[in-house]
C-alpha cells in the first residue's frame, strides 16, 4: 500500500492518487525526479509532502523525455482476446489518442523490424516493385484526418453499457503516408487490372480483395499516426488505409499487394465480413460504413445534475461529410439540430453539441446523423425491415438511446 | 516452388464461371482510372524502390483464387485429413460430439442457435451453409492454420484437411481426392446465396 504506480499511472485505478486522496491510509508515494545523471528515477517521498503541499510552494519534477497522463486520469481500452475498444465516453473532441485507438486483429500484433520491412507490388503491373520503408517515406506524402471503424461495431442488450461497449470499435487519427495510386503509378497498371489483393505480415497473413477504383481514389499506405510512427497495434511500420471503408479492409503490417482482374474470395470477405440479408441472401463486399452518431455525454456510466447540460457526441459517415446531427431530449417525439464543430471533414468523426436544460424529468435522449448523400441514420426497426429478421451482425448503425433517470443516472436503452 | 496450373485450364474455367465474373465486374461501378491529375512537377518515375525478382515474388505469392490460380501440386484425401484434424484442429474447432473454443466448421445440428444472434433464430455459420468457394479453405488453412503454428502445413496436408472438412459438410464423398485440378471444381452450396452490396447512400436504408 502507499505507492503511486508511476509506471502505469492510468492502470485501471488500482492504486491511483485519487484513491490515495480518498482513502488517506497510505503513508508514502513514488514520484519521478531527475538524478544527477539527468535520468528520470523514482524516489519515495512522504505522502504528506505531496498531498498537503501547495503546488505553488514546492517545485515539481523537471522536464522528462516522454510525457505522461495525469495520475488522476484513468483511461483504458476494454480488451478481449480479439479486440479492444476505445473509451469514447472519456474522450474530448475528435482525435483518438494513439494508445487508445481500438484494436481488432486476427492472430496478434507482429513485431516488425522497420529496417527489414518491404512492400511488394506485383501481378498485373508493368514492373513488379519492392519498396522499403524509407522508399515509402521519400514519396510525396499525404496527411488526412479520418475515422477507422470495424464493421462489426455494434453491441446491445444491456442497460449498463457505455459508448465504449456499444461502438468502441471506431477511432480517429491523423494519418500520414503515400497515396497507393502513387505507388501503382510507379509499377504501372496493365490493361484489365481491376482488383488487388492486400496481404498483412501477421500470423494470420490477413488478406482482403480491394476494387481498383478505391485503390486509385483515396487509398493510402500510411506510416504515421498522430504525428509519430504508426503504433504496432495499428500496423507498424506501414498499413493500408481505406478512408470510410470497413476497418478489416485496411490491412495492417502490409507486406504485399497483388494486382489482378478479379477478387480472391479470401476467408475474411466470404465467411466473415459478409451479412445475411433478406430471402436467404448473403451480402458481400459491403465496404462503405454508413452514417452513424452516438451521444458520448451524458451516457452510461455518467450521472448528471439538474440544470444546463451540454449534450456532446460524435457523428461520422464513410460516404462523405456529416451535414446534420439531430438530438431528441424527449424520447424521439421532437428533434433539434445540434451544432457541429468545424472544420467538418470528409469521412471523419465530427463533434456535435446541444445545450439542454434538464429539470429532473425522466426521459430518453437520442441522436441521429445525416450525411452529404442524404442518408439518415436509421433505427434498429428500419434496419430489420430492410434486411430481415435474420440479418447479420455487420454494418449495424442504429440510433442509440440513453435513458435518463430522475436521479440523473444515465442508462443505455437497448433497441426495441 | 509452387507449380501454377496451366493457363489453358484457367481459360476454360473462367468461361464456366462467367456469371460470377459479371457479378464482381458490377462492383467496378466506375472506370478504374487514376482519379486525380498527376501534378505537373512530378517526374515520370521517382526512381524509388527496386524491381522485384521472380524468386522473391514466388516465395511470397501464396494466395489461391476461386479459379484455382495459385494452387500447388499435391493431393489430399478425406482419411488423412481426418487424422490431421484430430491431432491439429479438434482442440479449437471441436468434433461431431464436442464443441471447441473457436468456430465450428461443420454442423451436427442445423437448428443450433447462433450465440451472437440478435434475435436468437440464426443457424450456426459453417463451411457447408456459408462458405461460397472451396478454394478459400485451402488458402486460409495454408496461410493461417493451425493457430499455434501458422504456415507449417505441407500442400498434401492442406489438401487433406480441405477434403475432410468438405466431406464433413456433405459436399464431397469420402473417396474424393483433391488436387489443383479438382478443388476449384467443387461447387459450394452457399455460393448461390451471395449477392453484391447495393447500398449507395441516399435516403434509402438497405
From first to last of its 416 residues, what are the pLDDT tens digits of chain A?
333 333 443 343 343 443 334 333 444 455 554 544 444 445 555 555 566 678 898 888 899 999 999 989 999 999 999 999 999 999 999 999 999 999 999 999 999 999 999 999 999 999 999 999 999 999 999 999 999 999 999 999 999 999 999 999 999 999 999 999 999 999 999 999 999 999 999 999 999 999 999 999 999 999 999 999 999 999 999 999 999 999 999 999 999 999 999 999 999 999 999 999 999 999 999 999 999 999 999 999 999 999 999 999 999 999 999 999 999 999 999 999 999 999 999 999 999 999 999 999 999 999 999 999 999 999 999 999 999 998 999 999 999 999 999 999 999 999 97
- The three-class DSSP label of residue A355 is strand
Those of residues 360-399 in A touching chain B at CB distance below 8 A are: 371, 373-376, 378, 382-383, 385-387, 389-391, 393
ipTM of predicted assembly, 2 dp: 0.86
Count how many pairs of residues, chain A against chain B, have C-beta atoms within 8 Å: 186
**Residues B1, B155, A257, B147, CA torsion sign:** negative
Task: Report the topology of domain A292-413.
Answer: Immunoglobulin-like (2.60.40)
Contact A149, A169 (CB under 8 A): yes
Q: Give A129 to chain B, closest Cα distance, Å.
A: 4
* Mutation site, B48, B69, B204, interface A, largest A CB count within 10 A: B48
Question: Using CA atoms, how far apart are residues A192 and A182, in angstroms rounded to an integer?
Answer: 19
Average of per-residue pLDDT across B26-38: 61
Same fold, A78-273 and A292-413: no
Those of residues 145-184 in B touching chain A at CB distance below 8 A are: 147, 150-151
CB-based contact A122 B139, cutoff 8 Å: no
A137 and B CB contact within 8 Å: no
CB-based contact A267 B33, cutoff 8 Å: no
Question: Using CA atoms, how far apart are residues B113 and A43, in angstroms rounded to an integer?
Answer: 57
- Whole-number pLDDT of residue B100: 83
Question: Using CA atoms, how far apart are residues B156 and B183, in angstroms rounded to an integer?
Answer: 13
**Residues B62, B63, B66, B70, CA torsion sign:** negative
- Whole-number pLDDT of residue B103: 85
Which residues does residue A30 pair with via DSSP β-bridges, in sequence order?
A44
Residues of B in contact with A258 (CB under 8 A): 61, 63
Nearest to A135 among B48, B116, B139 (CB): B48
For chain A, the domains span 1-61, 78-273, 292-413
CATH architecture of the domain formed by B63-185: Orthogonal Bundle (1.10)
**Residues B109, B110, B112, B115, CA torsion sign:** positive
CB-based contact A216 B122, cutoff 8 Å: no
Question: Using CA atoms, how far apart are residues B141 and B152, in angstroms rounded to an integer?
Answer: 10
Nearest to A128 among B52, B135, B201 (CB): B52
Categorize the per-residue pLDDT at B106 as very low, low, confident or very high, splitting at 50, 70 and 90: confident
For chain B, the domains span 63-185
Domain A78-273 maps to which CATH number in 3.20.20.10, 3.40.50.10140, 3.90.420.10, 2.100.10.30?
3.90.420.10
Strands A142-149 and A307-316, how do they pair? Answer: unpaired
Q: For helices B7-16 and B18-26, what crossing angle results, to 10°?
A: 80
* Mutation site, B19, B32, B105, B203, interface A, largest A CB count within 10 A: B32
CB-based contact B25 A194, cutoff 8 Å: yes
CB-based contact B51 A121, cutoff 8 Å: no
A254 and B CB contact within 8 Å: no
The rounded percent of chain B whose pLDDT value lies above 90 is 65
Categorize the per-residue pLDDT at B96 as very low, low, confident or very high, splitting at 50, 70 and 90: confident
C-alpha cell, A329 = 431530449
* Mutation site, B21, B43, B52, B142, interface A, largest A CB count within 10 A: B52
Amino acid at each position: 500500500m502507499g505507492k503511486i504506480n508511476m509506471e502505469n499511472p492510468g492502470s485501471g485505478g488500482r492504486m491511483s492518487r485519487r484513491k490515495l486522496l480518498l482513502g488517506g491510509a497510505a503513508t508514502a508515494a513514488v514520484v519521478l525526479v531527475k538524478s544527477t545523471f539527468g535520468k528520470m528515477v523514482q524516489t519515495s517521498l512522504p505522502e504528506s509532502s505531496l498531498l498537503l503541499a501547495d503546488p505553488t510552494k514546492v517545485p515539481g519534477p523537471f522536464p522528462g523525455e516522454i510525457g505522461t497522463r495525469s495520475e488522476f486520469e484513468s483511461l483504458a481500452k476494454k480488451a478481449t482476446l480479439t479486440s479492444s475498444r476505445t473509451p469514447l465516453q472519456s474522450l474530448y473532441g475528435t482525435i483518438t489518442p494513439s494508445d487508445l485507438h481500438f484494436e481488432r486483429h486476427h492472430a496478434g500484433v507482429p513485431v516488425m523490424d522497420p529496417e527489414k520491412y518491404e512492400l511488394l507490388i506485383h501481378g498485373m503491373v508493368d514492373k513488379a516493385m519492392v519498396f522499403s520503408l524509407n522508399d515509402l517515406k521519400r514519396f510525396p506524402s499525404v496527411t488526412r484526418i479520418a475515422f477507422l471503424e470495424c464493421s462489426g461495431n455494434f453491441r446491445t442488450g444491456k442497460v449498463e453499457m457505455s459508448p465504449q461497449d456499444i461502438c468502441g470499435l471506431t477511432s480517429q487519427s491523423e494519418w500520414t503516408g503515400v497515396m497507393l495510386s502513387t505507388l501503382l503509378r510507379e509499377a504501372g497498371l496493365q490493361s484489365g487490372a481491376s482488383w488487388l489483393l492486400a496481404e498483412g505480415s501477421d500470423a494470420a497473413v490477413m488478406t482482403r480483395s480491394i476494387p481498383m477504383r478505391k485503390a486509385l481514389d483515396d487509398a493510402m499506405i500510411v506510416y504515421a499516426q498522430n504525428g509519430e510512427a504508426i503504433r504496432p497495434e495499428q500496423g507498424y511500420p506501414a498499413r493500408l488505409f481505406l478512408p470510410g471503408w470497413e476497418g478489416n479492409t485496411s490491412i495492417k503490417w502490409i507486406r504485399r499487394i497483388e494486382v489482378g482482374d478479379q477478387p480472391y474470395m479470401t476467408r475474411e470477405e466470404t465467411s466473415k465480413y459478409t451479412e445475411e440479408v433478406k430471402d436467404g441472401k448473403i451480402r458481400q463486399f459491403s465496404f462503405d460504413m454508413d452514417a452513424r452518431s452516438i451521444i458520448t455525454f451524458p451516457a452510461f456510466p455518467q450521472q448528471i445534475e439538474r440544470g444546463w447540460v451540454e449534450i456532446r457526441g460524435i457523428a461520422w459517415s464513410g460516404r462523405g461529410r456529416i451535414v446534420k446531427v439531430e438530438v431528441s431530449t424527449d424520447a424521439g417525439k421532437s428533434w433539434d439540430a445540434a451544432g457541429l464543430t468545424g472544420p467538418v471533414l470528409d469521412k471523419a468523426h465530427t463533434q456535435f453539441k446541444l445545450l439542454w436544460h434538464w429539470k429532473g424529468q425522466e426521459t430518453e435522449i437520442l441522436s441521429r446523423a445525416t450525411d452529404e448523400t442524404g442518408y439518415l441514420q436509421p433505427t434498429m426497426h428500419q434496419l430489420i425491415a430492410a434486411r430481415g429478421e435474420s440479418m447479420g451482425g455487420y454494418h449495424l448503425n442504429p440510433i442509440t438511446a440513453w435513458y435518463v433517470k430522475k436521479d440523473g443516472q444515465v442508462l443505455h436503452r437497448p433497441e426495441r | 516452388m509452387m507449380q501454377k496450373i496451366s493457363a489453358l485450364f484457367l481459360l476454360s474455367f473462367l468461361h464456366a464461371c462467367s456469371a460470377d465474373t459479371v457479378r464482381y465486374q458490377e462492383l467496378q461501378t466506375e472506370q478504374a482510372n487514376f482519379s486525380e491529375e498527376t501534378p505537373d512537377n512530378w517526374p515520370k518515375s521517382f526512381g524509388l524502390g527496386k524491381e522485384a525478382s521472380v524468386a522473391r515474388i514466388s516465395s511470397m505469392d501464396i494466395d489461391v483464387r476461386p479459379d484455382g490460380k495459385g494452387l500447388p501440386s499435391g493431393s489430399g484425401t478425406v482419411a488423412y485429413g481426418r487424422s490431421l484434424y484430430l491431432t491439429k484442429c479438434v482442440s479449437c474447432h471441436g468434433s461431431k460430439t464436442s464443441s471447441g473454443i473457436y468456430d465450428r466448421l461443420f454442423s451436427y445440428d442445423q437448428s443450433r442457435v447462433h450465440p451472437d444472434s440478435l434475435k436468437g433464430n440464426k443457424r450456426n455459420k459453417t463451411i457447408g451453409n456459408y462458405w461460397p468457394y472451396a478454394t478459400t479453405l485451402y488458402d486460409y488453412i495454408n496461410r493461417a492454420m493451425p493457430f499455434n503454428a501458422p504456415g507449417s502445413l505441407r500442400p498434401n496436408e492442406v489438401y487433406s484437411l480441405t477434403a475432410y472438412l468438405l466431406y464433413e459438410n456433405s459436399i464431397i464423398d469420402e473417396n474424393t481426392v483433391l488436387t489443383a485440378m479438382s478443388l476449384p471444381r467443387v461447387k459450394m452450396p452457399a455460393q448461390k446465396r451471395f449477392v453484391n452490396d447495393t447500398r449507395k447512400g441516399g435516403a434509402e436504408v438497405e
